[in-house]
Structure 1
Amino acid sequence: MTERENEKHSLDRWSQKLSNALHILDLKPDNPLILDLAAQSARSVDPSAGPISAFYVGYAAALAASSGQVDAQEAMRSAAQTAMTLCQDGNDQDPGSGGWAETAQ
């Protein structure tokens, strides 16, 4: 097994263990997407932005999936894509940009 395969296997096992411990048995996370989001956030904003972005994306995906409008995997992909789009601007724009804060909702 190559080092990359070992890393993937280890991450898959960790994801399964964490899912079981948190009683999230039906989720099949897209680990490469989450890792890509964390890496892009860390590069474009700050190293600490990676885990923070992953947390926010997970939270947003959980809210969207719990509404019943989309399944968990689609909610995660959509939230991750939104975050990756924001990564293109880095930390340069106003915090209200790209969200609903200025939409009078």
Structure 2
Amino acid sequence: MTVNDAEELELRDWAHKLAQALQVLDLKVDPSQITELVDRSSDSIGPRAGAISAFVAGYAAGAAATDGPKSVQEAVDAAVATVHRLCDEGTTAGPDRTGWAATGQ
């Protein structure tokens, strides 16, 4: 999905309002990164997989950023990369298969 300038502005504003309401004032959200994650998950797995992917990636990034030396952006990028990798491999692959060791946050 391509996001136009007006929608990008609206998404940035929404992300800012969410961050304020949830008291994560230093969070900078890249709407393009998140919408790409949602679209890719939905296309690879199913229509509702995008919401689940965004939630779990955000949770993993938050846990990694508060539990170790990673910056918030590094944690988000790592979580998003893991979701993209799983989307590439589809539902038949994943952490229970060979090659997924040390991919956790």
TM-score using structure 1 length? 0.85
Note if contact 1:29-1:73 (Cα within 8 Å) is conserved in structure 2: no
Structure 1: distance between partners of 2:69 and 2:95:
27
Share of identical aligned residues, percent? 40
Instruction: Kindly provide the amino acid, as one letter, of the partner of residue 51 in structure 1.
Output: A
Aligned position for 2:8: 8
Q: Highest CA radius of gyration, 1 or 2?
A: 1
Which position in structure 2 is the counterpart of 1:33? 33
CA RMSD of aligned residues (A): 1.7
Q: How does 1:69-80 map to 2 (within 5 A)?
A: 69-80=69-80
Q: For residue 55 of structure 2, what is the aligned residue in structure 1?
A: 55
Q: With structure 2 as the length reference, what TM-score do the two structures score?
A: 0.85
> Residue in 2 aligned with 1:43?
43
Structure 1 unaligned spans of 5+: 101-105
Matched-pair contact (CA < 8 Å) for 2:57–2:76? yes
Report if aligned partners of 2:62, 2:72 keep a CA contact under 8 Å in 1. Answer: yes
Residues in 2 aligned to 1:52 and 1:99: alpha-carbon distance in whole angstroms: 22
Moved runs in structure 1, 4+ residues, more than 3 A? 97-100
Deviation at 1:68, TM superposition (A): 3.2
Report if aligned partners of 2:61, 2:72 keep a CA contact under 8 Å in 1. Answer: yes
Q: Report if the CA contact (8 A) 2:41-2:53 is conserved.
A: yes
CA gap 1:6/1:26 in 2 versus in 1, 3 angstroms: same
User: In structure 2, what residue type is equivalent to 1:43?
Assistant: D
Residue type at the aligned position of 1:15: A
